[in-house]
A and B are shown apart, each in its own frame.
Chain A
Amino acid sequence: MPRNSREQICRNTSIHIKPQPDRINEYEDFFGNKVIYFSIEKEHWELTVLVTSEVERMESEHSRLIDYPIAGLEEVKTELLGPDADVIDVKQYLFVTPMTSWNAEIIQYAMQSFQPGRSVFEATHDLTHRIYNDFEYKPGYTTIATPLSVVMKERKGVCQDFTHLAIACLRSIGLPARYVSGYIETISPEGVQKLIGSDASHAWFSVFIPKMGWTDFDPTNNCIVSDQHITIGWGRDYADIAPMEGIILSSGSHELTVSVDVKRQNSL
């Protein structure tokens, strides 16, 4: 369920599950995301989960910025070494995870954007742009188990792969980056181009820049995240914030379909 953040407030959310679950628990996870656990203990052939949320989306401050912070890589890293207790929350996004592990090739790829003297904001924007240009969006080519080294080699993937790649690039050079799971506008207002990845769940990344805070970039759509993105939650990688996961007890096979609608209520 969508969480609140600097850019959005979840006004209302409801969940309908068929068949009726025997048990529903609601809680916040380690990263502050809202989690709903449910279990259905009777035999069933079909399970439907429908979540409807009303989210107020503010336009991101930085998308309007003209004078963005010009701190470079070394300055940002020095700032992160500080003893400030709040830094813990940021520093936890510095470490490698199984889905974001990097190799020399990935470091090399990152360094091309992070040239000396360039601001972190600008360099990250450049990285986003390069991933968009260098990689082909090809659904079905990768699975969640495909390692980044393969994605790097094949230059193909979907939004999760591009997001993990960007995160690996940033962490490999010492920048905190987190994985954001969410949705993007599916029914675009007239004149606005429809974004890629709008029919299912989407993912992008966020980098921490001092004085600016967490700043979101969408490598699949080559953009700085603005008001077309609705955040569900975030974590270190996909494994922390899969939109839905579960265990079924069955002897047969199963099929899964997902669809998402994001519609503007009152466009300003």
Chain B
Amino acid sequence: MFADCYTSSDTMDLNLLSNPIFSDYFNFHHSYGELVGEDGNIRPHWETFFHSYAQVGDEEMSNRNNDTMRLLKENGVTYNIYGDPNGMNRPWKLDNIPFLISGEEWTTIESGLKQRAQLLNLILEDIYGERKIIKKGILPLDLIYNHAGFLRPCNGIKQPGKHRLILYAADIAKSTEGKLWVVNDRTQAPSGSGYALENRTTMTRVIPELFNGLKVRHLSPYFSALRNALNEIAPQKNLNPRIVILTPGSKNETYFEHSYLSSYLGFTLVQGNDLIVKDNFVWLKTMGGLERVDVILRRVDDIYCDPLELKSDSQLGIPGLLQCVRSGNVSIANPLGSSILENPGLMPFLQQISIYFLSEDLILPTIASWWCGQPAELQYVLDNIQTLVIKKIYRNPTGSSSIDGASLSASQLSACKEEIKANPSIYVGQEKVEISLSPSLIEGKILPQKVLFRSFLVSSKDEYVAMAGGLVRSSANAGNFNISSQTGGFSKDAWIISPEPGRVVSVLKESPEGAVETYNDMLPSHAAENLFWVGRYTERVLGNARFLRTVMQFLAEGNKLLNENNRQTERNLLEAFTRYSFTLPGFTGEKAEELFADPWKELKDILFNEKRSGGIMFNFLQFHKAIHEVRDHWSTDTWRVIRRMEEDLQNGVPLTHHGHLQMIHTLDNLITSTVAFIGLNRESISREQGWIMLDLGRKIEQSLLVISMLKTTMVKKFNDQVEYNLQQSVLMSNEGLVNYRYKYRRPLQNLLVIDLLLFDPNNPRSLTYQVVRLKDYLKNLPKNRGHQSTTEYERLIFEADSHLKLADKNELAAPDDKGYKNLEIFLSELYHLLSAIPGVISKAFFKHEMTPKSIIFR
């Protein structure tokens, strides 16, 4: 083992490079890299780092690596890949060896980035203002006017604050000669800062030893600066502005980060349909009514933000948003229109623009680029296409953003040339840089990897503030110039090795005294709706799983004793389950006889087929979808349980036809995890509106399920044995057998089963129990818009309640010659009342039936 080679850490320095841990590293490459200097010696910061690494030891590092993966998975750190059905919620991958940047190098990078942010800000102001650089011929008109990110409706708009460009991110590559290049500018809605923070948090938790002896700069000052910057741009110097993060939704590539930043910074996470424009202001639709929004931190691409003036078919935006911005009533970071700067065509002109605006040379050079809108440059690109990367000036949000000339076949090459010649002004040729290699831990080996470093900057009162760190992405593919999370690869933490310049502050401690606001009434309608559905689907999964388990258990035992009573019970249970779970036609349809002969195939389909509407897997996926829409509501422990539910179902598929017991076992596990989920919610969610919506959903679903259960099993008249069997199944499916025996201490009876499941105020599964709580929740829902009179949903619950109270149990339990008619009517009436409540609540609080539609006057 590595650590055995050295008795004392002091003696290792000279021989570190010849140590076995690096054997794989130099098999691949032996040239200038991050690790080794030109003099052939390991660089000092790496030396300290690997010193600590050696002390941890190879084997332990491998353990820690597993810890890292587990922690990230448990924290729900994911990213999504578009266009890949299996690409949702991919676990985030973090390499335990960080990317180290020396203090000296950082000084250059930092000043270069600040200058670049300042310059891009001036360009942005000019493009949407006087357009001097175009008029003076410093920047060609085509590069702006022909760029899809030049949003003409944003012309002339100003918002408060020193800079127009609030957030900026740059991708930096280091060439094998040690030169630093800016490869990409990100000015639209730069992503990655949340992942950088999560990477750092994970590293400090999992391998704190690696920080020994290194002064690693902190990330928190960046986030304090971000908070200040957003406060700075609030309209009318609002001291306590309401800031929201606008997300396209849970399917977005970086949705994890949106919700992560939302909880870290304490800003409400919203989607376009949570916001509404009224009277030239933007409002957040909450359970308690409308709340004014001052600042929007957007993660939605600018053209999608306002369907009225930008992309008319966008469902992600807020109609009329630009009118509010123009009126100065809301500010956006970054302002709409800033994607014009994500323009590789700007690169060849930046040096000149820097001279014009700042009278300075660029500190960080831009990667050599040739804009094809000029004849000589066009010719150069056509002649040298195989050595270049070809980019469009405007990044197509769906397609790939660049083409490596070397990767093209002869016919592709000539097609590409034709395309460039047909429309030269939208193409740019960029030099390919040999990226320097940095040590990475890949499957237990230290290997050289290409890395791309993304740095984040934010506006402040004086100048831009750079995050002292960043997000590093690495690629194993030596020929792959494009490194992005979309195409896989690892991420790394970036360590700036230098003493902290000032005091270290945590973002939460940074808030001024008394500025801590309570957001009790701030639950966005969208979140409320999803919580409501989480509640409903939880109970639906649980209720169906329990009933299905009961049915399966009966089948598994009943098959042995094929008497008529058992056969009749079986058929009734199967039919009842079909109706109860809405998996029609199932055991009630034309093919019922066939299915009765071999019910297991149908039951397996109901359990595992994700496309079977009403089935367990189907409902679980609905539950899962709703969970992710409100992912910031769940604690780490809760996430672990959610993942267990997922695994229970995924791993539970029996391989053979005779997997009856395994399916029952799968249901056992699923039921236990679902109950754990409910229990954890009760433990961890504070009793505010979020909880009310969640539990309201549960109680509504439970009420409807218990009614359905009785209606499908207990309204028909059979002989005593069959009725007994059915009653027993009902109780088993409702965790009621124990309660029954304890309370009544006698054999099962129709009357008492009904009493226990409908009327017992102490049985947590009885209808009365649900209705009492529903009445309480509904009474306490916010009565917005000044209405004090009884609402429709209150009327419905009062009526259901009095129905229950006035019922005559004996009458309900008494059969006539056809069956239990009174019970059937009674249950139908209650179902009718209670099932109307969700629709009424939805109308009052969610308003999802209102979708914006564009009208066009041709």
Kindly state whether residue B279 has any CB partner on chain A within 8 Å. yes
Interface segment out of the listed B569-577, B611-619, B661-669, B846-854: B846-854
CB 8 Å contact bits of A218-240 with B (1 = contact, 0 = none) = 00000000000000000000001
CB 8 Å contact bits of B392-423 with A (1 = contact, 0 = none) = 00000000000000000000000000000001
Decide if B152 touches A23 in the complex (CB within 8 Å): no
B142: chain A residues within 8 A (beta carbon): 95
Kindly state whether residue A193 has any CB partner on chain B within 8 Å. no
CB 8 Å contact bits of B426-441 with A (1 = contact, 0 = none) = 0000000000000000
A27: chain B residues within 8 A (beta carbon): 326
Contact of A88 among B135, B323, B855 (CB under 8 A): B135
Kindly state whether residue B307 has any CB partner on chain A within 8 Å. yes
Kindly state whether residue B153 has any CB partner on chain A within 8 Å. yes
Decide if B857 touches A256 in the complex (CB within 8 Å): yes
Contact of B137 among A37, A83, A248, A254 (CB under 8 A): A83
Of all chain A residues, the one with the shortest Cβ separation from B147 is A95
Interface centre among B131, B141, B857 (most CB of A within 10 A): B857
Kindly state whether residue B145 has any CB partner on chain A within 8 Å. yes
Contact of B320 among A39, A200, A243, A245 (CB under 8 A): A39
Decide if B853 touches A201 in the complex (CB within 8 Å): no
B326: chain A residues within 8 A (beta carbon): 25, 27
Contact of B279 among A22, A29, A88 (CB under 8 A): A22
In the complex the two chains form, what is the Cα distance from A31 to B856 in whole Å?
Answer: 20
Kindly state whether residue A9 has any CB partner on chain B within 8 Å. no
In the complex the two chains form, what is the Cα distance from A160 to B856 in whole Å?
Answer: 13
- Sorting the interface of chain A by its residue count into under 10, 10 to 19, 20 to 34 or 35 or more gives 35 or more
Kindly state whether residue B312 has any CB partner on chain A within 8 Å. yes
Kindly state whether residue B21 has any CB partner on chain A within 8 Å. no
In the complex the two chains form, what is the Cα distance from A27 to B323 in whole Å?
Answer: 10
Decide if A247 touches B279 in the complex (CB within 8 Å): no
Known: A22-B278, A95-B145, A258-B857. A247 touches B152 (CB 8 A): no
Known: A83-B137, A91-B141. A245 touches B849 (CB 8 A): no
In the complex the two chains form, what is the Cα distance from A96 to B394 in whole Å?
Answer: 14
B858: chain A residues within 8 A (beta carbon): 144, 160, 200-201, 242, 258
**A78 to nearest B CB, angstroms?**
14
Decide if B153 touches A29 in the complex (CB within 8 Å): yes
Kindly state whether residue B155 has any CB partner on chain A within 8 Å. yes
**B404 to nearest A CB, angstroms?**
26
**B318 to nearest A CB, angstroms?**
10
B window 133-158: CB within 8 A of A = 134-135, 137, 141-142, 145-146, 152-153, 155
Decide if B855 touches A254 in the complex (CB within 8 Å): yes
Known: A30-B155, A258-B857. A247 touches B307 (CB 8 A): yes
In the complex the two chains form, what is the Cα distance from A37 to B324 in whole Å?
Answer: 11
Kindly state whether residue B652 has any CB partner on chain A within 8 Å. no
In the complex the two chains form, what is the Cα distance from A29 to B157 in whole Å?
Answer: 11
In the complex the two chains form, what is the Cα distance from A256 to B153 in whole Å?
Answer: 26
In the complex the two chains form, what is the Cα distance from A254 to B851 in whole Å?
Answer: 13
A23: chain B residues within 8 A (beta carbon): 279-280
Kindly state whether residue B327 has any CB partner on chain A within 8 Å. yes
B522: chain A residues within 8 A (beta carbon): none
In the complex the two chains form, what is the Cα distance from A136 to B279 in whole Å?
Answer: 46
Decide if B279 touches A245 in the complex (CB within 8 Å): no
Kindly state whether residue A267 has any CB partner on chain B within 8 Å. no
A251: chain B residues within 8 A (beta carbon): 849-851
Inter-chain pairs besides A39-B320, A88-B134, A240-B152, 19 sampled, C-beta below 8 Å: A25-B323, A25-B326, A27-B326, A39-B277, A85-B135, A88-B131, A95-B145, A95-B146, A144-B858, A160-B858, A242-B856, A242-B858, A244-B857, A247-B320, A247-B852, A248-B852, A250-B853, A251-B849, A254-B853
Name A residues whose Cβ lies closer than 8 Å to a Cβ of B.
Answer: 22-23, 25, 27, 29-31, 37, 39, 41, 83, 85, 88, 91-92, 95-96, 144, 160, 200-201, 240, 242-251, 254, 256, 258
Provide 29 A-B residue pairs closer than 8 Å at the C-beta atoms, listed in order of the A residue.
A22-B279, A23-B280, A25-B280, A25-B323, A25-B326, A41-B278, A88-B141, A92-B141, A92-B145, A95-B146, A96-B423, A160-B858, A242-B856, A242-B858, A243-B857, A245-B308, A245-B857, A246-B308, A246-B854, A246-B855, A247-B319, A248-B852, A248-B855, A249-B850, A249-B851, A249-B853, A250-B850, A254-B853, A258-B857
Name B residues whose Cβ lies closer than 8 Å to a Cβ of A.
Answer: 131, 134-135, 137, 141-142, 145-146, 152-153, 155, 277-280, 307-308, 312, 319-320, 323, 326-327, 423, 849-858
